[in-house]
Amino acid sequence: CSECGEPMRIIAFITDSHEVAKILEHIGEQTSRAPPLTPTDPVPSSCDFDDTNFQYAEVSWYPDPPALDF
């Protein structure tokens, strides 16, 4: 909290878009939505991926598995 310095927490969510717009208008905030984002890279289609030479990388940093205790 900017007034008392205590941590703030969420106590409720308002999901009704009409009610959210009314609240935003009341406090002087923008009520219209921003335009949707456009992707910078097109989404690849499934035929763009060639997995014929795909190999898993061998890494040395995997932890040892736990010992069985039974």
pLDDT in tens, 7-44: 999 998 999 989 988 999 999 988 887 777 776 666 65
Reported in sequence order, the residue ranges of the chain that DSSP labels E, i.e. its strands, are: none
Higher pLDDT, 67 or 23: 23
52 pLDDT tier (thresholds 50, 70, 90): low
Q: Rg (Cα) of the chain, in Å, rounded?
A: 26
Give how far the C-alpha of residue 19 lies from the chain's centroid of Cα atoms, to the nearest Å. 24
| pLDDT value for 42 | 62
| pLDDT value for 22 | 92
Indicate the SS3 state at residue 1. Answer: coil
Identity of the amino acid at 39: P
Identity of the amino acid at 60: S
The answer, yes or no, to whether residue 49 has pLDDT greater than 80, is no
DSSP string, 53-67: T--PPP-S-PPPPPP
